Amino acid sequence: MSKVSRLDDCRRDLDASLDDFDRAVGPKELLAAARAVRACTEALEQAAVLQARADGASWAKIGAAYGLTKQGAQQRFRERAAAADDKAIEAPGSPDIPTSTPSEDGRE
């Protein structure tokens, strides 16, 4: 799946989740819709971090964008980034997920 296609999917899912949030009747529906909105925004954020890493952004630069240190950014995102890398290894040739990971000792 291309970056544009993935972004379109995120937008569509987010729009639908926000519509559900607006139409929610009662706390159960409201909470379910809020949870769906959160899942969409987390997926979008993770895609942005993966793309930034694929484009050569350092963990320090990603951290700075979040008001975090390099280490804070690594702790927040590295596990999910590594999981995405594992999926790319299982399905070689995927154009939208990088297949390399930063060194384990934290060097950029």
Which pLDDT does position 73 carry in this prediction?
95
- What residue ranges of the chain have pLDDT lower than 70? 1-4, 81, 83-108
Which pLDDT does position 85 carry in this prediction?
59
Which pLDDT does position 87 carry in this prediction?
57
Which pLDDT does position 29 carry in this prediction?
93
Query: pTM higher than 0.85 for the full model?
Result: no
Which tokens hold the place of 67?
């008001």
